[in-house]
Structure 1
Amino acid sequence: MNTVATTPIDGQKPGTSGLRKKTRVFMQPHFLENFVQSIFDGIGGARGKTFVLGGDGRFFNKRAAQVILRMAAANGATHVIVGRDALLSTPAASHLIRLNKTDGGIIMSASHNPGGEDEDFGVKFNMANGGPAPEYVTNAMFERTRTIQEYHIVEAQNVDLSTVGDTELAGMKITVVDPVADYAALMETLFDFDAIRAMFAGGFRIQFDAMCAITGPYGQEILENRLGAAPGSVVHGTPLPDFGGMHPDPNPTWAHELMDTMNGPDAPDFGAASDGDGDRNMVVGPNIYVSPSDSLAVLAANAHLAKGYAAGLKGVARSMPTSAAVDRVAEKMGLACFETPTGWKFFGNLMDDGRVSLCGEESFGTGSDHVREKDGLWAILMWLNILAKRQMSVAEIMRDHWQSYGRNYYSRHDYEAVDSDIANTMMDDLRSKLDGLVGQTIQGHRVSEADDYAYHDPVDGSVSAQQGIRVLFDGGARFVIRLSGTGTSGATIRLYLESLETDPANFDQDPQDALRWIILAAEDIAGIRARTGKSGPDVTT
Structure 2
Amino acid sequence: MIETIATRPYDDQKPGTSGLRKKVPHFKQPHYVHNFLQATFDTVGRGDLETLVIGGDGRYFNRDVVAIAIRMAAANGYGRVIVGQGGILSTPAASNLIRKRGAAGGIILSASHNPGGPNGDFGIKYNIENGGPAPERITSAIYEKTRSIERFRIFSAPAPEFDAVGEHRLGDMVVEVVDPVSDYADLMEELFDFPKIRALIDGGFTLRFDAMHAVTGPYATEILENRLGAAKGSVVNAVPMEDFGGGHPDPNAVHAANLIAAMMSEDGPDFGAASDGDGDRNLIVGKGIVVTPSDSLAVLAANAHLAPAYRQGIAGVARSMPTSQAVDRVADKLGIKTFETPTGWKYFGNLLDAGKVTICGEESAGTGSDHVREKDGVWAVLLWLNILAERRESVRGIVEGHWSEFGRTFYQRHDFEEVDSDKAEGLMESLRDRLASMAGQRFGSLVVSEADDFSYKDPIDGSVATGQGVRIVFSGGGRIVFRLSGTGTAGATLRVYIERYESNPDRHGDAPGEALAELISIADSVGEIRRRTGRTEPDVIT
Compute the TM-score of the two structures, normalised by the length of structure 2.
0.99
Per the alignment, residue 320 of structure 2 pairs with 319
Per the alignment, residue 141 of structure 2 pairs with 140
Q: Are 2:53 and 1:36 aligned? A: no
Per the alignment, residue 486 of structure 2 pairs with 485
Per the alignment, residue 282 of structure 1 pairs with 283
Per the alignment, residue 415 of structure 1 pairs with 416
Q: CA deviation at 1:512?
A: 0.9
Contact 1:6-1:30 at 8 Å conserved across structures: yes
Q: CA deviation at 1:383?
A: 0.2
CA offsets per residue over residues 141-198 of structure 1, 9 Å max, x none? 1111011110011122341111111111111001110000000000011000001000
Contact 1:47-1:75 at 8 Å conserved across structures: no
| Distance in structure 2 (CA, Å) of the matches to 1:170 and 1:85 | 21
Q: CA deviation at 1:264?
A: 2.0
Q: CA deviation at 1:488?
A: 0.3
Paired letter, 1:12:
Q
| Distance in structure 2 (CA, Å) of the matches to 1:494 and 1:16 | 14
State the percentage of identical aligned residues: 59
Per the alignment, residue 339 of structure 2 pairs with 338
| Distance in structure 2 (CA, Å) of the matches to 1:123 and 1:381 | 28
Q: CA deviation at 1:507?
A: 0.6
SS at 1:356's partner residue? coil
1:85-100 matched pairs, under 5 angstroms: 85-100=86-101
Contact 1:454-1:466 at 8 Å conserved across structures: yes
Paired letter, 2:221:
Q
Contact 2:300-2:383 at 8 Å conserved across structures: yes
Contact 2:294-2:323 at 8 Å conserved across structures: yes
| Distance in structure 2 (CA, Å) of the matches to 1:529 and 1:234 | 41
Contact 1:46-1:72 at 8 Å conserved across structures: no
Give the root-mean-square deviation of aligned CA atoms: 0.8
| Distance in structure 2 (CA, Å) of the matches to 1:69 and 1:196 | 40
| Distance in structure 1 (CA, Å) of the matches to 2:52 and 2:46 | 12
Q: Are 2:483 and 1:471 aligned? A: no
Per the alignment, residue 19 of structure 1 pairs with 20
SS at 2:324's partner residue? coil
| Distance in structure 2 (CA, Å) of the matches to 1:270 and 1:338 | 30
| Distance in structure 2 (CA, Å) of the matches to 1:455 and 1:150 | 37
Q: Are 2:191 and 1:194 aligned? A: no
Larger mean CA deviation between 521-530 and 80-89 belongs to: 521-530
Q: Are 2:517 and 1:516 aligned? A: yes
Q: CA deviation at 1:464?
A: 0.6
| Distance in structure 1 (CA, Å) of the matches to 2:453 and 2:363 | 19
Contact 2:193-2:307 at 8 Å conserved across structures: yes
Per the alignment, residue 106 of structure 2 pairs with 105
CA offsets per residue over residues 202-230 of structure 1, 9 Å max, x none? 01000000000000000000000000001
Q: CA deviation at 1:47?
A: 4.3
| Distance in structure 1 (CA, Å) of the matches to 2:27 and 2:160 | 21
Per the alignment, residue 359 of structure 1 pairs with 360
Per the alignment, residue 390 of structure 1 pairs with 391
Q: CA deviation at 1:46?
A: 7.3
Per the alignment, residue 405 of structure 1 pairs with 406
Contact 2:251-2:281 at 8 Å conserved across structures: yes
CA offsets per residue over residues 230-288 of structure 1, 9 Å max, x none? 10000000000000011000011111111111112311000000000000000000110
Number of corresponding residues: 541
Per the alignment, residue 441 of structure 2 pairs with 440
Q: CA deviation at 1:529?
A: 2.0
Per the alignment, residue 169 of structure 2 pairs with 168
Cα gap change, 1:34 to 1:45, in 2 (>3 Å): farther
SS at 2:283's partner residue? strand
Q: CA deviation at 1:530?
A: 2.1
| Distance in structure 2 (CA, Å) of the matches to 1:512 and 1:159 | 54
Contact 1:45-1:75 at 8 Å conserved across structures: no
Per the alignment, residue 55 of structure 2 pairs with 54
Per the alignment, residue 539 of structure 2 pairs with 538
| Distance in structure 1 (CA, Å) of the matches to 2:151 and 2:179 | 34
SS at 1:425's partner residue? helix
Per the alignment, residue 6 of structure 1 pairs with 7
| Distance in structure 2 (CA, Å) of the matches to 1:16 and 1:321 | 14
Contact 1:443-1:518 at 8 Å conserved across structures: no
CA offsets per residue over residues 67-113 of structure 1, 9 Å max, x none? 10001001111000110001000000000000001100000000000
| Distance in structure 2 (CA, Å) of the matches to 1:44 and 1:234 | 41
Per the alignment, residue 449 of structure 1 pairs with 450
Per the alignment, residue 374 of structure 1 pairs with 375
Per the alignment, residue 348 of structure 2 pairs with 347
Contact 2:271-2:285 at 8 Å conserved across structures: yes
Contact 1:46-1:75 at 8 Å conserved across structures: no
Compute the TM-score of the two structures, normalised by the length of structure 1.
0.99
Q: Which consecutive segments of 4 or more residues in structure 1 shift more than 4 A? A: none
Q: CA deviation at 1:522?
A: 1.1
Per the alignment, residue 259 of structure 1 pairs with 260
Per the alignment, residue 227 of structure 1 pairs with 228
Q: Are 2:124 and 1:128 aligned? A: no
Paired letter, 2:280:
D
Paired letter, 2:183:
D
Q: CA deviation at 1:45?
A: 5.6
Paired letter, 1:227:
L
Paired letter, 1:149:
E
Contact 1:439-1:446 at 8 Å conserved across structures: yes
SS at 1:433's partner residue? helix
| Distance in structure 1 (CA, Å) of the matches to 2:101 and 2:272 | 33
| Distance in structure 1 (CA, Å) of the matches to 2:436 and 2:3 | 58
CA offsets per residue over residues 334-364 of structure 1, 9 Å max, x none? 0111111001111111001110000100000
Contact 1:443-1:520 at 8 Å conserved across structures: no
Contact 2:70-2:159 at 8 Å conserved across structures: no
Paired letter, 1:188:
E
SS at 1:144's partner residue? helix
Paired letter, 2:19:
G
Contact 1:56-1:109 at 8 Å conserved across structures: yes
Cα gap change, 1:36 to 1:46, in 2 (>3 Å): farther
Q: CA deviation at 1:319?
A: 0.5
| Distance in structure 2 (CA, Å) of the matches to 1:334 and 1:264 | 40
SS at 1:95's partner residue? helix
Paired letter, 2:77:
G
Gaps of 5+ in 1: none
Paired letter, 2:486:
G
SS at 1:249's partner residue? coil
SS at 2:70's partner residue? helix
| Distance in structure 1 (CA, Å) of the matches to 2:48 and 2:88 | 24
Contact 1:8-1:145 at 8 Å conserved across structures: yes
Contact 1:40-1:46 at 8 Å conserved across structures: no
Per the alignment, residue 250 of structure 1 pairs with 251
| Distance in structure 2 (CA, Å) of the matches to 1:283 and 1:46 | 43
